[in-house]
Amino acid sequence: MTKSKDGEYEIYALKYAGPFTSSGAFIMWMREWEKTFERYYFFWCIKGEGGPIIVDCGVSPELAKQKALTGYISPVEALKKIGVDASQVPKVVVTHMHWDHYSGIQLFPNATIYVQEREYNFWVKDPVAKRSVFQSATDNTAAAYLAQLENSARLVLVKGDEAIMPGIELLLSPGHTSGLQAVAIKTKKGTAILGSDCAHFFRNYTEDWPSALIVDLAAWMKTYDKLKARVSSPDLLFPGHDPLMLTNYPKVSEEVTRLA
CATH assignment at residue 32:
3.60.15.10
| Digit-coded pLDDT (tens) for 142-201 | 999 999 999 999 999 999 999 999 999 999 999 999 999 999 999 999 999 999 999 999
146 and 124 in contact (C-beta within 8 Å)? yes
126 found inside a domain = yes
Neighbour tally for 192: CB within 10 Å: 26
Q: Is residue 1 part of a domain?
A: no
pTM for the complete prediction?
0.96
Examine residue 208 and state whether it is found in any structural domain, yes or no.
yes
Span 54-102, pLDDT tens digits? 999 999 999 999 999 999 999 999 999 999 999 999 999 999 999 999 9
Residue 244 is assigned to a structural domain of this protein: yes
What residues have CB less than 8 Å from 148, skipping those under 6 apart? Answer: none
- Residue 149's domain spans which residues? 10-258
The answer, yes or no, to whether residue 1 has pLDDT greater than 80, is: no
The answer to whether position 165 is within a domain reads yes
Residue 204 is classified by DSSP as H
Domain-embedded: residue 173: yes
Inside any domain, residue 3: no
Number of domains in the chain: 1
What Å distances lie between residue 65 and 42, 62, 138, CA to CA?
Answer: 17, 5, 16
61 class by beta-carbon count within 10 Å (0-12 exposed, 13-18 middle, 19+ buried): middle
Task: Please report whether residue 186 resides in a domain.
Answer: yes
- The secondary structure of 113-160, three-state, reads EEEEHHHHHHHHHCHHHHCHHHHCCCCHHHHHHHHHHCCCCCEEEECC
* Tens digit of each residue's pLDDT (9 = 90 or more) over 215-252: 999 999 999 999 999 999 999 999 999 999 999 999 99
Q: How far apart are CA 14 and CA 45, in angstroms?
A: 8
Determine the pLDDT at residue 6.
Answer: 55
